Structure formats: C-alpha cells, structure tokens
C-alpha cells in the first residue's frame, strides 16, 4: 500500500485512510510503503532511523538512516498529524544541492497521480520544496518525477516559484501561489537546511494545524456582492481572470518544441520517458490496426448515444456552409467549403482522461471529411491507450493516435501540462517520421495549453489553432424559482475541474435564498471525491446580487463565460439578451453537464472572456471556405467601369488595365 509524507491520502474506493507512511522501504531508496502491523513498526524502530510523531505512539521509519524519514498519518483521526521533527543524518544519495528531506517529499508527492488517491492536502513536508532546482532520485515502480525539475511545479502560477526568504520562513508569495489547500508550518515553525542534517523544528508545541479539506467538513461561504453597491472599476475587477504570464510559459515549452522539431520521434520518446515514465516502442499507432477495446456494454451505450447526438447536431451545420448569390445581373458569387486535410486533436489526460473530448473533436472532423485525424493523448503506465479514448477515436474515424501529452499529477498539472502538451503539439505541428504533420491543432486546456498552441501557431510550422483557452468556468443566473440544490450542483460541476476554475453565481432579486444555496454547495462539496479541488476553486468565486433581468444579462455579457446557465422562470425569453457566452443552458432541466457529454453541442469552448470574439468548436472549425465568382460578358460590362475607377483611385494601374482591356475587347466584338 502506498502513501506520501505530509499528505493525507484516502482510498479512492473506500475513502479509508491508508495508514502509516514510510520512506526508504521496499522498491529502492525512494520507494514508499505503508505499514499497519504494530510489531513490524516496533521492530523497525529499534534498528532503523526513527522520527517521532504524535498519534497513538506511531513512528515513521527509514530503512536507510542516511536517507530520510517522514511523517505518519494517524488513521484514528480524520486529519493529517502535526509533524514534531524530521531528521535526516546525511543527504540522500543522488540529491545534489538540495536536502534529502525535500527529496522525500517531492518523490512521494508524485505518487498521487499514478495511484489515483482521491484526495490530498499538502502538509509541512512540502514547504522545503523551494530550491530553484534539484535532482531527485527516482523509482520506476513509483513512476516518480523527472530527475531534474524546477520547484515551481508546486506553484499554481509557473512564473512564481516557491521560495524561502533569508530567514528560512516560507514567504507569503509561496503561500499565495500554492496550487492546493495546504497545511503549512505551525506558527513559529522554521526550516533549517544543512549539508549534513535537515530538521523541522517545532517552536510552539500548541500551534494549530489546518484541517484537511477532504476529511473535515469544509465551510463554504461565497463572497456576496450587490451590483448596486459597486462602481465601474469594481465591476471590471469582477470580470478579471487570473493573470497569464505567456512569456514565462513559452520559455518553458519553447526548448521542447525546438527539440521535437529537430529530433522528431526520438525526442518525443525521451520526453515520454521523462514526463510520463513510459518507454514506448512506437509513439504513433494506426487506429485501423488496433483491436476494438473491451468496454462495459453500458459504457459503450453511453458513448454511442453521445456520438449520435454530436453527429446529428454537427451534420446539420453542413447545410449552411455553401451558398451562391447573383449580386447583379451577370455577376455570380459563391462560397464553397473544403475540409482541412490534416488535423491534430488534443485529448487531455491531466486530473482525468476525457474520452468525451475525443468525440467532441473527432466527430466534426469526420463529418467535415478531414483525411488525416491525429488524436494526441497520454499513454497509460503500460504504454497502452485509454480504452474509452480508443473506442471514441475509432468510432469517430480517427486515423492515428499519438501517445503523448498529459499531466503527471493532479496538484501540479498546470506546470506539467505545458511541458507534456508541448511535445504532443510540436510533433503534430512539425511532423515526425511516424507522426503526420497537421494543418490545425484543436483541443481544450488551461492557460499553459493555450501558450503552447499559440507558440506553434506563430512559428514556422504553419499551423493554426482553434481558439485561446484557459481554466474552465461557469456563470449561473438564477431567480427565486430555481432549486438551491440544482444551483449548487451546477456550480460544483465546474469547480471540480480544477482549483483555477472560475465559478460565478448571479442572483436575480433580493428574494433568492443565497444562504440555502451556500448550504447546498457546502453539503454537496463535502460529499464529492474531488471536493478539495472544488473547495479551492470556490475560494475565488462570488455571488453577485442584481435587481433585474437587464442587469443580469449586462454583467454576463461583460464577463463572457465559457458556460452560461440561465435557471429562471421563462428562461427562453432571455436568449435574445445574451450576446457573449461559449454555450448557453436554458431552463431548470438543462444542467451544464448535458452539454459536456451528450446533448450534441460541442464542449470545446472559449474561456477567459474570449467568448466576446470566439465561438466554440463546430463543423466550421474543420473546414476552410473558398469564394468563387463568375462573370458573364454582360456582367463585366456592367461592373467593369466601377472596378477600373476604384483601381485608378488607389493608384493600381495594372488592376485597372486588367478590366479596361477586356472591356475594350467586348466593345470591339459588338
């Protein structure tokens, strides 16, 4: 059984605490095991390095006293224990310029994604993760991290790495940048890092430790504001999203993009080993050569329903693609659609693999008639493809699967998405020996994904993208007739995507029971396996109380949300007042989830306010339009003089001559 120091782990299936966490036992110097046998713990404490921690006399053990030792989780309580002391006599072998204590925390934190523990809370073992760079010993059995990486992986904003001040105390910037709810050092706690010893000293025996969000019931109260109390600048502030430092992000992904450009398949394979801990013989698979995956019949049936609805909705868009009109007698103008020949589709694999995205992207590509459809998705630990993604890709006519991309761990996925995605989009943008070069890359993602796509779009690769995108977001407009339980569920359905998700509730009228809605949010959040993620997102959310429909729609149009839920009486009448939204969900029986999966509309949508000028993925995303004009002699005689005169005004004599020569010939024929 596996766990992590300083992080409270629950079984995904039973939510049972995993028990004592040890470091240095089992699969090598960085293996992590959990021991529940008291006799075994007692035996080890007499012969091995020991760390004392509170909680039923439990002890953490280190198989190698020269390595490191870690905290213990007291399974009799639903919280992470406070650490009294952690001592490592000597730096861990292989750790350069960094304490073995920090290395233990780093390596164990990486277990989160691979073993899919359903919840975690950073504790004080994460606070030493502040070095600008370090080398961390790895264990293949743990799928541990790359040997060299920046400590900024633990920052929600890659541009702000965690750091210590000269005093050794965790600075406020590091706390602010933390990507997950954390249990920081006790008040007065100090980190001391030396070449031969690392100690966490508890300065105040009674200092409180924050409760674990996923275990202790979390209290949620959305920031509540009245529109009538706000000035223009405050309203603009509510529309703001987290700042994106594209320059810093592009500095991260740029070298990877160039490496893939120059070394192709070999570079992709190396990065897959480095980031995914998977060794691949082939990075690309031909979909036609892959056997049909074995799936539960109910799962297949659900995907089949989604496929049919998505196909119906997008096929209907084909009717309006081509058109022809006679603008004046003898002058006919036409627009014709042609499929983009080669497209690359990115299916994320960060906090969860999203086979629904494979349908959302591949189905319109299939309808458009794209010849080459490359689906990029992260490989599983054994190098295989997620069976649900494969099923959707095969059903929707994808031609190739590129096994690259994806995040390595939930709590640091923003940083690693940028690097993982970089190799996937670079391979598709530039092409390799086995991966076809594509002309357009489509797929959802956070701001790091957007940065990587935009970097390629502006390079010599000559590739376009679907749209900029950022963290997922929802704005819910509701009145007194809406169910508080429904509103809460809709808010949480976006909040659970990630801690950077944007969640806004607009209450129409003072008679909306905001307290009842908050109570529902709290109750439902505490019942969610991903409740800690949702709770983090809700910390940055707010409720805006408005008086009228006009005020609600005006604010929504300014905010331009990715998803807009209108849960009010007579919701259909509101649509004409809505101008800016990625996708709109009208009425009490239309949760945002139906659009995410199977109503037929596309869930790849603009975020970050880009709905003011971008629409979501549609059939148009996979085609380009050619315009055609055809003039008869009568048409040129009627139109030619105007064209020649306009060319003369602009000083383009050759343009004018191309018309006047023809007019002269026509007159001569008569």
Please identify every residue annotated as catalytic: 562-563
Determine the 3-state secondary structure of 476 from DSSP. strand
Q: CA-CA distance, 512 to 514, in Å (whole number)?
A: 6
Residue 455 tokens read as 């970097």
Question: How many other CB atoms are found less than 10 A from the CB of residue 11?
Answer: 14
Residue 424 tokens read as 């996937």
Backbone conformation region of residue 431, classed left if phi is above 0, alpha if psi is from -120 to 50, else beta: left
Helices (H), 4-75: 38-47
User: Which of 368, 354, 367 has the alpha carbon at shortest distance from 443?
Assistant: 354
Backbone conformation region of residue 452, classed left if phi is above 0, alpha if psi is from -120 to 50, else beta: alpha
Cβ atoms of 59 and 39 within 8 Å: the answer is no
Q: CA-CA distance, 93 to 318, in Å (whole number)?
A: 62
User: Which of 502, 653, 480, 637 has the alpha carbon at shortest distance from 564?
Assistant: 502
Determine the 3-state secondary structure of 545 from DSSP. strand
For 182, phi then psi, to 5°, come to -125, 155
User: Which of 400, 423, 383 has the alpha carbon at shortest distance from 344?
Assistant: 400
Question: How many other CB atoms are found less than 10 A from the CB of residue 169?
Answer: 15
Which residues fall within 8 angstroms of residue 569, CB to CB, at 6 or more apart? 479, 481
Cβ atoms of 562 and 472 within 8 Å: the answer is yes
Q: Starting at the earlier edge strand, list the strands of the sheet with 20-23.
A: 32-35, 20-23, 59-62, 49-52
Q: CA-CA distance, 596 to 609, in Å (whole number)?
A: 19
Which residues fall within 8 angstroms of residue 387, CB to CB, at 6 or more apart? 293, 294, 295
């Amino acid at each position: 059984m596996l766990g992590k120091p300083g992080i409270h782990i629950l079984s995904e299936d039973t939510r049972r605490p995993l028990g004592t966490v040890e470091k240095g036992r089992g699969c090598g110097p960085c293996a992590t095991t959990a021991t529940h046998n008291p006799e075994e713990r007692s035996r080890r404490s007499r012969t091995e390095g020991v760390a004392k921690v509170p909680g039923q006399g439990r002890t953490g053990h280190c198989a190698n006293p020269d390595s490191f030792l870690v905290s213990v989780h007291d399974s009799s309580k639903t919280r992470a224990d406070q650490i009294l002391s952690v001592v490592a006599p000597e730096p861990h072998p292989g750790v350069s310029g960094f304490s073995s204590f920090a290395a233990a925390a780093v390596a164990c934190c990486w277990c989160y994604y691979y073993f899919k523990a359903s919840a975690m809370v950073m504790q004080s073992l994460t606070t030493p993760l502040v070095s600008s760079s370090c080398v961390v010993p790895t264990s293949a059995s743990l799928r541990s991290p790359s040997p060299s990486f920046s400590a900024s992986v633990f920052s929600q904003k890659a541009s702000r790495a965690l750091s210590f001040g000269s005093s050794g105390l965790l600075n406020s910037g590091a706390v602010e940048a933390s990507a997950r709810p954390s249990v920081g050092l006790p008040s007065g706690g100090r980190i001391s890092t030396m070449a031969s010893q690392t100690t966490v000293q508890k300065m105040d025996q009674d200092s409180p430790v924050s409760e674990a969000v996923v275990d202790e019931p979390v209290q949620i109260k959305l920031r509540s504001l009245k529109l009538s109390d706000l000035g223009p600048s405050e309203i603009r502030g509510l529309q703001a999203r987290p700042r994106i430092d594209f320059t810093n992000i592009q500095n991260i992904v740029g070298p990877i993009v160039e490496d893939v450009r120059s070394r192709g398949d070999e570079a992709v394979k190396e990065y897959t080993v480095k980031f995914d801990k998977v060794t691949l013989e082939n990075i690309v698979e031909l979909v036609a050569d892959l056997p049909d995956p074995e799936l539960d019949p109910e799962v297949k049936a659900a995907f089949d329903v989604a496929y049919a609805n998505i196909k119906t909705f997008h096929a209907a868009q084909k009717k309006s693609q081509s058109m022809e009109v006679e603008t004046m007698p003898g002058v006919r103008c036409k627009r014709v659609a042609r499929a983009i020949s080669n497209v690359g589709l990115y299916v994320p694999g960060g906090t969860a693999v999203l086979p629904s995205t494979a349908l959302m992207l591949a189905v319109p590509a299939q309808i458009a008639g794209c010849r080459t459809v490359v689906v990029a998705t992260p490989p599983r630990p054994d190098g295989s493809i997620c069976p649900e993604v494969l099923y959707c890709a095969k059903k929707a006519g994808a031609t190739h699967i590129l096994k690259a991309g994806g995040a390595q761990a939930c709590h640091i996925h923003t940083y690693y998405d940028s690097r993982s995605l970089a190799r996937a989009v670079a391979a598709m943008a530039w092409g390799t020996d086995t991966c076809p070069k594509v002309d357009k890359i489509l797929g959802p993602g956070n701001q790091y994904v957007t940065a990587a796509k935009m970097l390629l779009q502006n390079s010599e690769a000559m590739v376009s993208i679907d749209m900029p995108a950022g963290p997922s977001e929802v704005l819910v407009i509701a009145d007194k007739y809406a169910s508080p339980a429904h509103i809460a569920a809709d808010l949480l359905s976006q909040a659970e995507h990630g801690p950077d998700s944007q969640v806004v509730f607009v209450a129409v009228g003072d008679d909306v029971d905001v307290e009842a809605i908050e109570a529902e949010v709290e109750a439902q959040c505490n019942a969610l396996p991903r409740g800690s993620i949702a709770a983090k997102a809700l910390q940055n959310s707010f409720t805006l109380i408005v008086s009228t429909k006009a005020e609600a729609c005006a604010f929504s149009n300014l905010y331009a949300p990715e998803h807009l839920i209108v849960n009010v009486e007579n919701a259909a009448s509101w649509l004409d007042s809505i101008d800016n939204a990625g996708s709109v969900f009208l009425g009490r029986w239309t949760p945002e989830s139906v659009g995410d999966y199977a109503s037929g509309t596309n869930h790849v949508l603009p975020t970050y306010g880009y709905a003011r000028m971008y629409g979501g993925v549609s059939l148009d995303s996979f085609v380009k339009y050619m315009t055609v004009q055809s003039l008869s002699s009568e048409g040129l005689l009627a139109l030619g003089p105007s064209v020649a005169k306009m060319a003369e005004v602009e000083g383009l004599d050759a343009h004018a001559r191309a018309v006047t020569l023809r007019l002269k010939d026509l007159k001569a024929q008569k």
